[in-house]
Amino acid sequence: MKRVLITGATSGIGKSLVDIYIHNGYEVVATGRDLTKLATLKKQYPSIHTLSFDITQLQQVLDAAEEVNSIDQLILNAGNCEYMETVNPFDSALFERVIRTNLLSVGYCLEAFLPKIKRNG
Ligand X SMILES: NC(=O)c1ccc[n+]([C@@H]2O[C@H](COP(=O)([O-])OP(=O)(O)OC[C@H]3O[C@@H](n4cnc5c(N)ncnc54)[C@H](OP(=O)(O)O)[C@@H]3O)[C@@H](O)[C@H]2O)c1
Residues in contact with ligand X by the rule CB under 6 A: 8-14, 32-34, 37, 54-56, 77-81, 101-102
18 or 71, CB closer to ligand X? 18
- In whole angstroms, how close is the CB of 95 to ligand X at the nearest point? 15
- In whole angstroms, how close is the CB of 92 to ligand X at the nearest point? 19
56 or 73, CB closer to ligand X? 56
**By the 8 A CB rule, do 21 and 28 touch?**
yes
Three-state SS at 93 = helix
What is the 8-class DSSP label of residue 11? S
**By the 8 A CB rule, do 14 and 7 touch?**
yes
- In whole angstroms, how close is the CB of 52 to ligand X at the nearest point? 8
34 or 69, CB closer to ligand X? 34
Q: Give Dmax (Cα) for the chain.
A: 52
What is the 8-class DSSP label of residue 67? T
